Structure 1
Amino acid sequence: MDPVFLFGQLFTGLSVASILLLAALGLALSFGLMRVINMAHGEFLMLGGYLTYLASQWVGPQFLWLAFPLAFLGSALLGALLEITVIRRLYGRPLDTLLATFGISLILQQAARQLFGSTGVPVNAPGWLSGAITLHGGALDGLTFPYVRLFVIVLAGLVLGGMGWLLGRSRFGMHVRAVNQNREMASALGVNTRRLDMLVFALGAGIAGVAGVGLALLAPVNPTVGSAYIVNAFLVVVVGGVGSVLGGAVAAVGLGFLTALAEGLTSVSLAQAILLIAVVAFLQWKPRGLFPAGSRALEDT
């Protein structure tokens, strides 16, 4: 196999893994804390992409300073609204939650079609992200690393580091871990679990919105872009271990590499089938994922 092709595919897989990681972080938080299967999570990513497009139309080439806060806040507010109006009324009813959020995802996709059309809207990356690093000489002569994909990888690393600090070092993270371990005891000790659920759901939605910014820099944004990522994001959560940020990071990188290599050697549809078979085989070996988070609620389900 040509080493330039191989390393090029691995680099592409790493950038795809970065988007998957950002999309999966919110799923890991919401399911780990609330046991909610949110089929509309991909639409937060879609919303972040469209808000990035609007930011680029409003302020021109240097739009990223507006796109990131706009995508995070817009997606977080939608997530908070969804949790308060729908999710909160369906706790303890996973099938009803799944069906309700699937219906909401279809509504949001149709709303996007009405507002932006059914075809993808392109977002031109700023000029300082238009170049690439090219290797010269040796076995990897000609291998290129586009700046925009490097930016997405760095973005995912920064968000992952921030989430690690927030969950591991802050008072908010302490409350999240306490509720994840034992909701009833945390509530008895004074933690407002209802408010925490809403904040965590909004945080996960906001992170998905940030993923939408990165995705918009790589490809046009269309109404179904979220549904294209939601399945793989769920796979990342399951393989990494429900509620585990570290497990999600490792799983995202592994699945991203596997997908990129399979697509380069076969086709997109066959690569997805190979990915699903690999995940099923892995879960036969480690059914709770790579780094399962200890939780009484998970043990009872």
Structure 2
Amino acid sequence: MFGDYSLGDLGSIFVMQGFAGLILFSVYVLMALGLAIIFGQMGVINMAHGEFMILGAYVTYLCSGFFQAHLPGLFPAYFFVAMGLAFLASGALGMLVEWALIRHLYKRPLDTLLATWGLSLILQQAYRSIFGAREVGVELPAWMMGSVQATDTIEIPINGLFVMGVTVLITLAVALLLFASRWGKQVRAVMQNRVMAGAVGIDTDRVDRTTFGIGCGIAGIAGAAFTMIGSTGPTSGQLYIVDTFLIVVFGGAASLLGTIASAFSISQTQSTLEFFLSGSTAKVLTLLGVVAILMLRPQGLFTLKVRR
């Protein structure tokens, strides 16, 4: 596999693929953060999480067209507006889904899995009816185009740097929300002991709804970031949902550090193997490696101690 390359070529390949893996890692982290919050606190297996991501991508697509047609002078800044709207749209839909569907199915994980899988099919058809079956792409501002020449053989795309910067900011914001805010204290209290949290006056229903909305809103931001590395279609979210669940389970449910470490290891392994092997082979080998580790450590890389 490596025999046809010199040491210098291999070094450049690993650096370039490592950076490509970081872009994939950024999308994985944004997807997995929301899913880890929902699954870790509420125990809900949200099979429609990918469709919330694609909603954010379609919102970004609509913003791109609107700014091009009506506000061309502000087009260079449209992506920041698109990320905010993607968060609001996906978060609002998430809170509506929690109120109309999820709250009736708590403590019934199989039912939530089937219900959210059905919801994903409904959303896919809705996207197909509204936006068409063909994939669409967004027009990026000029300042996001091009690359930074790190060395003679290594180029770093500017939009990749932007995606990673957004991921760092969102991760820090989630960490602050969970560990340094009143809402975060309530979330951790409900996760540790729901009955006692309700007994001391915490509105557990409101915490659940807000948590589900924030988790889905983060998926919407992931969708905005996704438009930089791929085209958007009605079923694009299904390409990421399995990998995202794998990241959450591998890292340890409800563990922020575990989610980041898991996303990094899986994205880097997959990106590097895809250069030397086919994409399907790389995914199979990555999956086998994760399964082997989970057989030795079924609780995941990191776990939180929770009162039962």
TM category, shorter: over 0.9
* Corresponding position of 1:70: 85
Residue 111 of structure 1 pairs with residue 126 of structure 2: yes
* Corresponding position of 1:175: 186
Choose which of 9, 14, 17 in structure 1 pairs with 2:25: 17
* Corresponding position of 2:43: 35
Structure 2 residue ranges without an equivalent (≥5):
3-9, 69-74
> Number of aligned pairs?
293
Does the 8 Å contact 1:262/1:271 carry over to 2?
Answer: yes
AA paired with 2:61?
Y
CA-CA distance at 1:296 after TM superposition: 3.1
* Corresponding position of 2:298: 287
* Corresponding position of 2:59: 51
Relative to the length of structure 2, the TM-score reads 0.93
* Corresponding position of 1:214: 225
Structure 1 segments (4+ residues) deviating >6 Å: none
* Corresponding position of 2:71: none
Distance 1:294 1:268 in 2: 37
Per-residue CA deviations over 1:31-61 (Å, capped at 9, x if unaligned) read 1111100000110100000000000011123
Relative to the length of structure 1, the TM-score reads 0.95
Match runs of 1:88-167 below 5 Å: 88-136=103-151, 141-167=152-178
Structure 1 residue ranges without an equivalent (≥5):
none
* Corresponding position of 1:197: 208
* Corresponding position of 2:289: 278
Distance 2:12 2:99 in 1: 50
CA-CA distance at 1:135 after TM superposition: 2.5
Does the 8 Å contact 1:124/1:217 carry over to 2?
Answer: no
* Corresponding position of 2:272: 261
- 3-state SS of the aligned residue for 2:228? helix
* Corresponding position of 2:96: 81
CA-CA distance at 1:285 after TM superposition: 1.8
**Two-structure CA RMSD over aligned residues (Å):** 1.0
Distance 2:94 2:63 in 1: 20
AA paired with 1:124?
E
Q: Which shows bigger deviation, 83-92 or 116-125?
A: 116-125
Choose which of 228, 252, 262 in structure 1 pairs with 2:239: 228
Distance 2:109 2:93 in 1: 21
AA paired with 1:33?
Q
Distance 2:195 2:265 in 1: 36
AA paired with 1:99?
L
Distance 2:104 2:24 in 1: 35
- 3-state SS of the aligned residue for 1:133? strand
Q: Which shows bigger deviation, 114-123 or 99-108?
A: 114-123
AA paired with 2:188?
R
